[in-house]
Chain A
């Protein structure tokens, strides 16, 4: 009972961390920072789930040809496809001629009736069919929407009827009959959409079999065969596309991975270097401190961006690093790793200084003296007694360092120091920069994401600092 009353009266119960956490909960800006930065981290972790599209997919506009182009934020639906202007082009639906000729020859190889001198082009695929079939499966990832078929056919002897048949998985058929003139090349172009001619599509089949069937007894030679198929789509580009027609949202979501990975990795490298140096310098003072602080000063005087670029170039061109990365299967990410290492190597000074200064304060405190009095060794005092007290300011400086690293990573990516095959915020920003006047979204969204990420980590860091040490407010 007494204990209960006592508990109630004691608002500030629990460890230092628990008190700081309670104080932090009252700090609205800090909470916002926590929520936003958690969001950014989650975005990076769940990039595969969050991003609606693969970041490397091109969403090209069809007709005339496939033109990469920036598209504004919004929904691109199948209805717009009707006039051929928008079209999802997926390379997997393009069947090269050589493959076709092979199939064709395997199925129906009968050249006996073909008159000589009618070969047509170097890729001529020949075949004849007497009631025979040429078939090909067309498989769609989503809803098959669009099929474009073109070929040339030569009929030997009398006129023939050639049927193009699409069969869905249930066996339902769509047949298009073509009457071909004899003894000459007939050019055939078929463009089929689900509202026109391609009724099998209505069943929402994922796979359709296409066959060519010659009804009469004539020999038919088919050449220059081309088939293209598209998917029905309803694309939502929340942030539009970049100039390459890649979905900006997906790319930025995946880019968060790069940005956070680099900044977290760099902070860990910085901690790895800076923390022990700060601990040792602060605890032993004297000559050790002098040496460490002079090294720190030297690093601080170096012009950051120039040296960073130098380090990146050196790492990029170091053979053993290259070999190591190839072994690890990371050879394409060499620049990212170089940026990470560079940021880590030039980002530890703040940590060292802070840890040293904090320890200067703590080592003079009576509880360190008391720890000495009970016979604790130097190492024990440093690790058990001093280090937990350094933790609070360390968390703050690491959080603030994260935001700084995000910014520098973006800056270097903007200058071109980023990987080719991964999207990153800085690169999207620099890509969009050239199109800023016509495609505002290509600059706006990367920039706003960088701002949010940096701001959220800063707010979080400030909030934590206030929570741990309200005197600094």
Chain B
């Protein structure tokens, strides 16, 4: 395999932001939380991009900054959180530099988001119909009954039975799966170009999970939107995504096409993740686990954040943060030593 190693240069940035194919381009995103106990460096120097119509997965363990990354993309990080630096280009515009009034036009209309817990993300005092119609009337100048009609159609689209009658029900009258469907129809009400799904199936049981993901997939194909799927479930990634980014301790350690990452994980963390997947085709007595624990983001490890748990770590790893380097055309890795580690494979 030929190695084309180069760091991302200024030229690349220009090209990628002008690239028609790229919908969202996140560069060096850094978000800190200023808490009483210290500064939580939740996201640091995160870069990735999502192409038009692409199903992009962001995977990582709890507390590694996936959700904060997603919220930063909409400039939704709140006190005590602050976006310290970086850019989020959406259709060529830097979302982080937009005025509040302008970014509100993007939220919900162009980029919409669904959350982990569908019950708590619906306001208990309004009917679901009102909540779906709210999005429509916020972004489009339509009458109330028109908005309601559209809400009913959307509910039918995501497979809510008796939508015509259930439109006037309250969120607590719906089951978990139905609530998530409501959330999806709410997110899709203005035909967004990007849907951020923040662990949309975590709170649901497995059969419903499959249904919800199928709905998202179906709608993505139908409307041609891009999806940023955040999850810690590698199975979901494998099933749905085209490309995937792996996060660890506030850094992106590897991005690649899904097939590539399953076949050829290059970062030691990704490799450890893959090794920890229980497999039916191999007979292993003990499931492999990763020693150590999640880094404390208030006082994160210097250099590569994975180095205290990495068996290949050297002194360089503790000193220099490894940049995300392009490995092959669609594969980026942030590791000083991935070539040596994977030498045997290569």
Contact = CB atoms under 8 A, between A and B. Distances in A.
Contacts of A372: 74, 76, 107
B121 A369 contact: yes
Contacts of B85: none
A375 B108 contact: yes
Contacts of B162: 2-3
Nearest to A391: B125
Interface stretch (A13-21, A124-132, A299-307): A13-21
A12 interface: yes
Interface string B91-108: 000000000100111111
Given A369-B115, A373-B107, A375-B104, A14 B170 contact: yes
Interface stretch (B9-17, B134-142, B150-158, B288-296): B134-142
A366 B186 contact: no
A378 to B, nearest CB: 8
B139 A375 contact: yes
Contacts of B127: 15
Residue of A285, A365, A367, A377 with most chain B CB atoms under a 10 A cut-off? A367
Interface string A353-390: 00000000000011101111111110010001100110
A170 interface: no
A10 interface: yes
Interface in A382-408: 384-385, 388-389
Interface in A1-50: 2-3, 10, 12-16
23 contacts: A2-B162, A10-B173, A14-B170, A15-B170, A16-B170, A366-B117, A367-B123, A369-B121, A370-B115, A370-B183, A374-B108, A374-B135, A374-B138, A374-B186, A375-B103, A375-B106, A375-B107, A375-B139, A377-B104, A380-B138, A388-B123, A389-B123, A389-B125
Given A12-B172, A372-B76, A376-B138, A367 B104 contact: no
* Chief secondary structure at chain A's binding surface: helix
Interface of A: 2-3, 10, 12-16, 285-286, 365-367, 369-377, 380, 384-385, 388-389
Contacts of B74: 372-373
Given A3-B162, A16-B170, A374 B112 contact: yes
Residue of B125, B165, B187 with most chain A CB atoms under a 10 A cut-off? B125
Given A374-B112, A375-B139, A16 B104 contact: no
B77 to A, nearest CB: 11
Nearest to A364: B78
Given A16-B170, A286-B79, A376 B104 contact: yes
B24 to A, nearest CB: 15
A313 to B, nearest CB: 43
Interface string B103-131: 11111110011011100111111110000
Contact of B134 (A14, A285, A374, A388): A374
Contacts of B165: 3
A15 B115 CA distance: 23
B169 interface: yes
A11 to B, nearest CB: 10
Contacts of A370: 113, 115, 121-123, 183, 186
A413 B112 CA distance: 59
B108 A373 contact: yes
Given A370-B121, A373-B76, A375-B138, A13 B173 contact: yes
Nearest to A3: B165
Residue of A13, A367, A373 with most chain B CB atoms under a 10 A cut-off? A373
Contacts of A371: 123
A384 B125 CA distance: 10
Contact of B115 (A285, A366, A375, A388): A366
Given A375-B139, A377-B104, 17 more contacts: A13-B173, A15-B125, A367-B120, A367-B121, A367-B122, A370-B113, A370-B121, A370-B183, A372-B76, A373-B108, A373-B112, A375-B103, A375-B138, A376-B108, A376-B138, A388-B123, A389-B123
